[in-house]
Amino acid sequence: DAKTTQPPSMDCAEGRAANLPCNHSTISGNEYVYWYRQIHSQGPQYIIHGLKNNETNEMASLIITEDRKSSTLILPHATLRDTAVYYCIGLTETGGGNKLTFGTGTQLKVEL
């Protein structure tokens, strides 16, 4: 699975869009990009994932560059409850389950 690089911390004003970058320059062709977040030491929560195309769900949007070497998670209208550590994870699906390899993530702080 690809090594991912994320900034250690970011700040965002409440109501504004939060754009969290992730570099995964060694990603392989069949490797997905997953995003999870962890709020205040709770269990990680799944946000979104994608392979090549941009994805959107009720929580966020995922923009993947054409060369797939980087991606951006977008929280369109950040709230205080979005303050969390966000993890970008490269994942190759094998027969042995979708085992996740977590880095240290980005601490997002949403402020008034």
Partner 1 sequence: NAGVTQTPKFRILKIGQSMTLQCTQDMNHNYMYWYRQDPGMGLKLIYYSVGAGITDKGEVPNGYNVSRSTTEDFPLRLELAAPSQTSVYFCASSSRTGGRYQPQHFGDGTRLSIL
Q: Enumerate binding residues for partner 1 (CB under 8 A).
A: 34, 41-46, 49, 87, 93, 95-105
**Angle of CA points 95, 100, 61, to nearest 5°:** 110
Contact 3, 88 (CB under 8 A): no
To partner 1, the closest distance from the beta carbon of 62 in angstroms equals 13
Pairing of strands 84-92, 31-38: antiparallel
To partner 1, the closest distance from the beta carbon of 80 in angstroms equals 21
To partner 1, the closest distance from the beta carbon of 24 in angstroms equals 15
Contact 22, 72 (CB under 8 A): yes
3 state SS of 82? helix
Nearer to partner 1, 49 or 109 (CB): 49
Nearer to partner 1, 37 or 67 (CB): 37
To partner 1, the closest distance from the beta carbon of 69 in angstroms equals 21
Pairing of strands 9-13, 61-64: unpaired
73 bridge partner residues: 20, 62
Nearer to partner 1, 38 or 72 (CB): 38
Nearer to partner 1, 58 or 66 (CB): 58
